[in-house]
Amino acid sequence: MQIPTLHGLPEAARREWRALEAETDPQLLLEAALNFAQRQEAAGRLDAAAELYAAVIQEADAVGAEQVQPLRARAQAHLDAVLGRGAAGPRAEFLLRNLARQSSDPTMLFAMGAAGAVFRVTRLATLSRLVSTPHPGILTQLIGAGRLASLTGFALEAPAFTLAARLGSEALGRQQDWSGAALGRDIAS
C-alpha cells in the first residue's frame, strides 16, 4: 500500500499505522486502513484522514478484486464528505458531526472574537477617513463610504481569523503547519 506521509499525527497513531502496514491480506489491510482513517477523522485530523482515504481508494484500484470494491466505495464517500463534495447526506452528516465540537472550541471562539474586533476597528477607521475627506474618490462615490469601509474590514477579517485560530491552537499545544502554502490555503478558505 502506498504509504501516506501522515503529517502531524501523534506518535501512538504513527506506531499503529506502522503495525497495520505489516498486514499481507489486501482486504484486511484496506479495512484496517479505512477504520484508521475514520478514527483520524473523528479525532479532528482531517488532513491525515483525507490522505488515508485517498490511499485506500488507490490501493483498492490497484488490487482490483471485487471484494474490495465496497471498501473503495466507503473510502470514496468519506473522502468526498471531508472535501465537501459528493452526495448531500454524507456531507451534511460530516458537517453536523463537527459543528458542536468546532463551535465550542476555545481557539475558534478566540479567533471569531479577534476577527470581529479587527473588522469593526478597520471599518471604523476606514469610514472615519472616508467621511472626513472633503472630496470623495470615485470608488467612494460608486459604492458608498459604508460599503467600502465594510469591504476593507472584511479584507482584514479573514486573515485575522486564520492567524488568531492558528495562534490559539499553538497556545493549546496543537501542532501547526506555518508554511506559506498552508497559510494561503487557510486564508483563501
Average of pLDDT values for 34-53? 90
Confidence of residue 1 (pLDDT cuts 50, 70, 90): low
Q: What is the pLDDT of residue 159?
A: 94
**Is residue 82 within 8 Å of 41, Cβ to Cβ?**
yes
User: What number of residues does the chain have?
Assistant: 189
The dihedral formed by the CA atoms of 170, 158, 100 and 42, expressed in degrees to the nearest 10: -60
Q: What is the pLDDT of residue 104?
A: 87
Q: What is the pLDDT of residue 180?
A: 87
**Is residue 149 within 8 Å of 127, Cβ to Cβ?**
yes
Average of pLDDT values for 143-168? 93
What confidence tens digit (pLDDT) does each residue in 123-144 have? 999 999 999 888 888 888 889 8
C-alpha of 16 from chain center: 24
What confidence tens digit (pLDDT) does each residue in 71-125 have? 999 999 999 999 888 888 888 888 888 887 888 889 999 999 999 999 999 999 9
Q: What is the pTM of this model?
A: 0.62
What confidence tens digit (pLDDT) does each residue in 14-28 have? 888 888 888 888 889
**Is residue 52 within 8 Å of 42, Cβ to Cβ?**
no
Q: What angle do CA 58, 81, 18 make, to 5 degrees?
A: 45
pLDDT over 90 percentage in the chain = 39
115/109 Cα distance (integer angstroms):
10
Confidence of residue 2 (pLDDT cuts 50, 70, 90): low
Contacts of 142 (CB under 8 A, 6+ apart): none
